[in-house]
Amino acid sequence: MANYARSLSTAEGYSGYGAEQGKKALRKAIAETFYRDFQVKETEVFVSDGSQCDITRLQLLLGSNVSIAVQDPSFPAYVDSSVIIGQAGDFEDKTGMYGNIQYMKCRPKNNFFPDLATASRSDIIFFCSPNNPTGHAATRQELEQLVRFAKENGSIIIFDSAYAAYISDDSPRSIFEIPGAREVAIEVSSFSKFAGFTGIRLGWTVVPEELSFSNGFPVINDFNRIVCTCFNGASNIAQAGGLACLSPEGFASVHSIIKCYKENAKILLDTFSSLGLKVYGGENAPYLWVHFPGSKSWDIFTEILEKTHIITVPGRWWALDPVKSPMLFFEKSKPLIPPVLSGVGLNKLGFDFVGSLARSALLFAFHPQLLQLCSTN
């Protein structure tokens, strides 16, 4: 990236606007690295400035006259973008939910996978695996059910695979591992979570040629129009970094960082488990969802911040009231910087303090990159 940035100051190396869909070399590298066995073509890959931006572009493509379903809990951008585009309906104070959104409950008792037998039909299904914040990676059988459900109901799945690189078992890393998914699914993903590109901003969306609207018109054609109208393409410097990450040397380095995050997650998982707490996640995702019975998440957020100087994300952020659930990622007015190297700095987490909170009621999650505090309260 540094070399590419320097080359922009030369007559030979300067480059201006590129293809809105992304550099051909990077589109090809993404297709070959992540989708080699799933028939994804480079022309079906759209490079972007991050998957969260693509979620909103997809909402712009879909418009306000569609019904949507989301996992509950799930990444708030799915709901927030639905509110902005006009799909969500009225906010209901009593339930804390929007009237036109179907919230598919994902809890420990159903293995964090929705009961599709009782789910209503929706035009669009947002689905994240591994789920943020629970850390659950859907099994192959579960995703087969999801694809079958979408086919039977004429729905489109928007599948978020941002944390797929952390999957350790045989759970699918892409929806396109499932037969028939190319006819019903779009996949969004990101360099942020596996390569640390949170500030660099680089992601991609895969729109298969087989996916069409109910009138038979290819979705890829309209998404291409949206991209070319609303976007001038990802930064050339960021794309150079993406290509470097997907080179043999770069990909090996990326996986060494992923290994570090997973080792940190295991330390946290083992620690909380040793305290007799119920712990979810941490195996197929670099964060934990831990049950502490009794206080409100903002109270625990404040106590941890004051006593340990650790910034966390209160679980109210996964609740659906953006006014009451701001997201904070700063420590002493400075951004948190990942990663915490294995065996270094973990005492900072203050496990004695954490243990003292075991009598409180809380869903509590630590992310080895940012360290998250989560709660349903």
Give 222-231 pLDDT, tens digit per residue. 999 999 999 9
Select the more confidently predicted residue: 324 or 86.
86
Which of 245, 278, 302 is the last residue in one of the domains?
245
In a domain, 251, yes or no: no
What is the model's pLDDT at position 307?
Answer: 83
pLDDT band for position 209 (cuts 50, 70, 90): very high
What is the model's pLDDT at position 316?
Answer: 60
Least confident of 86-90, 269-273, 316-320, 373-377: 373-377
**Structure-token match 């550099």, residue found:** 23
Task: Give the sheet arrangement for strand 278-281, strand by strand.
Answer: 278-281, 288-293, 361-364
The total number of structural domains that make up the chain: 2
Give the separation between CA 268 and CA 246, rounded to whole angstroms: 29
Give the separation between CA 296 and CA 298, rounded to whole angstroms: 6
Measured CA to CA in angstroms, residue 101 lies from 82, 86, 121 at distances of: 9, 11, 11
- Cβ-based neighbour number of residue 188 at 10 Å: 26
Instruction: Clarify whether residues 125 and 95 are in a common domain.
Output: yes
Instruction: Clarify whether residues 77 and 113 are in a common domain.
Output: yes
Instruction: Clarify whether residues 52 and 149 are in a common domain.
Output: yes
Instruction: Clarify whether residues 240 and 276 are in a common domain.
Output: no
pLDDT band for position 305 (cuts 50, 70, 90): confident
Range of the domain at 13: 2-245
What is the model's pLDDT at position 336?
Answer: 39
Query: Can you read off the two tokens belonging to residue 115?
Result: 């009961």
**DSSP per position, 185-214:** EEEEEESHHHH--TTT--EEEE--TT-B-T
Which of 221, 245, 269 is the last residue in one of the domains?
245
Give 15-61 pLDDT, tens digit per residue. 888 899 999 999 999 999 999 999 999 999 999 999 999 999 999 99
Instruction: Clarify whether residues 270 and 355 are in a common domain.
Output: yes
pLDDT band for position 275 (cuts 50, 70, 90): confident
Give the separation between CA 116 and CA 107, rounded to whole angstroms: 14
Query: pTM of the entire structure?
Result: 0.84
Instruction: Clarify whether residues 174 and 312 are in a common domain.
Output: no
In a domain, 252, yes or no: no
Domain containing residue 11: CATH number: 3.40.640.10
In a domain, 178, yes or no: yes
Instruction: Clarify whether residues 11 and 61 are in a common domain.
Output: yes
The answer to whether residues 76 and 318 touch, using CB atoms and an 8 Å cutoff, is yes
What is the model's pLDDT at position 234?
Answer: 93
Instruction: Clarify whether residues 229 and 294 are in a common domain.
Output: no
Query: What are the phi and psi torsion angles at 246 (to 5°)?
Result: -95, 0
Which of 195, 219, 245 is the last residue in one of the domains?
245
The answer to whether residues 199 and 369 touch, using CB atoms and an 8 Å cutoff, is no
Nearest to 377, CA basis, from 363, 366, 359:
363
Query: Can you read off the two tokens belonging to residue 259?
Result: 């290994």
